[in-house]
Amino acid sequence: MTPGKKKLSYSYYPGCSLHASGREYDISTRALFKALNVGLKEVPDWFCCGATPAHNVDELLSLSLCAKNLSLAEQVEGDLAVACAACFSRLKTTQHHLKEDATKRKQVEYAIDGPASLNKPVKHILEILAREYGLAKLEESVKKPLMGLKVAAYYGCLLTRPPEVPELDDCEDPSIMEDILRALGAEPVKWSHRMECCGANFTLSRPGVVLKLSNAILESARLAGADCIMVACPLCHGNLDIRQKEIKEAFGAPDSTLFGSIFGSDLPISTTSEDRRDLPIFYITQLAALAMGVASQSLGFESVIIDPKPLLRDKQLL
């Protein structure tokens, strides 16, 4: 810590997925912040932000749920750190809308029976790592550089959208994930599908949609020569990791060009079935913590479906 400079410290909104199917994202976020000596304190009694389903059918309800969470966050000092891309987008969008629209703000304040807190900065952990902690300091803190690891950085839809809201990075050509990867010593690959949608919450109602969209993402990463994919969203992780075996079964036909022409798939140029290797899906915090020398046992690798350990051993990172 530089003298005179306060230790970085944040309030933390994990969101529902990080307490359930995305638990390794939560575990590794806490481990990483501890390793970097950055404070992280969970907002007491936070509840679901409503994610996509709430604004899909009831915007007022969605805004109210987020506004209430923002006012709960006032109990803990420090800017609000959010790891889930969907929660981040919802909380930021709410602040933005309520600042712009006085009528909605009045309605929401009535619904939550109190003032909406619109000035607590909401920050995604990518932003905290790259800008507040800083890329240079991040690079200095690396104990075990991720040498030789080729990573496809996957942004998905919500991290940088809608354009006027998240302020995280350019909404069509962001680079924040690649910058962090380079600081960690890894090698980000150039690939086509880094901002394409994975099918998101259709995983429950329309899994077929998810299989098709996620397959295109996995294929694109393989073609770019990636060893693995890095995500910052528990939904993307679920779709790419949990459903990867199913995707292989559905699209693993020997000639996927033929498959594509029958099903109108937007696959990139076909790869052969032997080449459909499993791609481990990492959370940004798992890779960063690994580079900071955090023991792999405390990063939740046992909770994922596609085992990343063979790859990490192969690259001498375990």
Contact residues: other proteins, CB under 8 A:
16-17, 19-21, 23, 45, 47-48, 50-61, 64-65, 68, 101, 107, 110-113, 157-158, 161-163, 171-172, 196-197, 199-202, 204-207, 209, 213, 242, 264, 266, 302-305
Min CB(21)–other proteins separation in Å: 4
CA distance linking residue 11 with residue 171, whole number of Å = 26
DSSP result, 19-30: GTTTHHHHHHHH
Min CB(133)–other proteins separation in Å: 28
DSSP result, 87-121: HHHHHHHHHHHHHH-HHHHHHHHHHHTS-----SP
Pairing assessment for the beta strands 228-231 and 187-188 based on DSSP bridges: unpaired
Min CB(144)–other proteins separation in Å: 26
Min CB(5)–other proteins separation in Å: 36
Min CB(38)–other proteins separation in Å: 25
Asked whether the beta carbons of 177 and 195 are under 8 A apart, the reply is no
Closest to other proteins by CB, 230 vs 304, is 304
Tokens of 287: 């890779």
Closest to other proteins by CB, 179 vs 241, is 241
Cross-sheet strand order for the sheet of 228-231: 187-188, 150-153, 228-231, 281-283
| Burial classification of residue 208, based on how many CB atoms lie within 10 Å of its CB (0-12 exposed, 13-18 middle, 19 or more buried) | exposed
Closest to other proteins by CB, 113 vs 274, is 113
Closest to other proteins by CB, 132 vs 196, is 196
Closest to other proteins by CB, 37 vs 257, is 257
